[in-house]
Every structure is written in C-alpha cells, then in structure tokens.
Amino acid sequence: ETGVTQSPTHLIKTRGQQVTLRCSSQSGHNTVSWYQQALGQGPQFIFQYYREEENGRGNFPPRFSGLQFPNYSSELNVNALELDDSALYLCASSLARQGANTGELFFGEGSRLTVL
C-alpha cells in the first residue's frame, strides 16, 4: 500500500510568483484535501476534491486553486504569492462515499513553501 506523497518537499519563491504543489493520494483513496499549516498553528482547510471536482472550500482567496486528476492525484496552485503564504502545505487523502468521508485523513509529509 503506497502512502500519500507530496512534492516538492521544500521550495523558495519570491512575492508575486506562482507555485504548483503536487500530491499523490494513498492507493484506493478517492478524495484529496489540502491544508495550510503556519508555524505553530493547526492545519487550516483550503479545499477538498472528490471525483475531480471541488466539493468544499475554506476561507482562502481565489488565487488558491486546485485540480484532481483521474488517478486521484492532485495539484495545489497559488498565484501572486504573498509573504503570508509561507507555510507547510499538507495534502491528505481519504476514502469517501457520495462525497462524505469519515473524517480519517491520511497526510503526506508536506511541502514547505517560503516566500521572500
């Protein structure tokens, strides 16, 4: 059984640039969620994808966007980067039926983004 993998693990960008983060979900999982974790804080929900469609979104601006592919892998894109976007971005996969999951999430190790 393959766990959740994320890439890249670390990256540095400058303000105004764009970034794409990638996530491969755990084998057998059909749902991917993205979280932003600032230093010393809990994960903040960005959005969730189920069957290639966004089916939930947190309080993040439209410059945060995503995709889910037919193999259930996913991308998080952030445009016009700001200094406050510096954080650990976590991807979590789960198995959902009819779009609702049990709440048990399987997390990757995260992508640490630094915006200068």
Residue 113's SS3 state is strand
For residue 104, state whether it binds other proteins (rule: CB under 8 A).
yes
For residue 110, state whether it binds other proteins (rule: CB under 8 A).
yes
For residue 90, state whether it binds other proteins (rule: CB under 8 A).
yes
- 106 contacts 32 by C-beta, under 8 angstroms: no
For residue 81, state whether it binds other proteins (rule: CB under 8 A).
no
Nearer to other proteins, 71 or 98 (CB): 98
- 3 contacts 105 by C-beta, under 8 angstroms: no
Q: Which of 11, 20, 22, 58 binds other proteins (CB under 8 A)?
A: 58
Nearer to other proteins, 4 or 19 (CB): 4
Nearer to other proteins, 75 or 107 (CB): 107
For residue 42, state whether it binds other proteins (rule: CB under 8 A).
yes
Instruction: Give the number of other CB atoms < 10 A from CB of residue 68.
Output: 22
Q: Is the Cα torsion angle 113, 36, 27, 105 positive or negative in sign?
A: positive
Return all residues near 27 (Cβ < 8 A) that are at least 6 apart: 1, 2
Residues that bind other proteins (CB under 8 A): 4, 33, 40-45, 48, 50, 55-56, 58, 90, 92, 96, 99-110
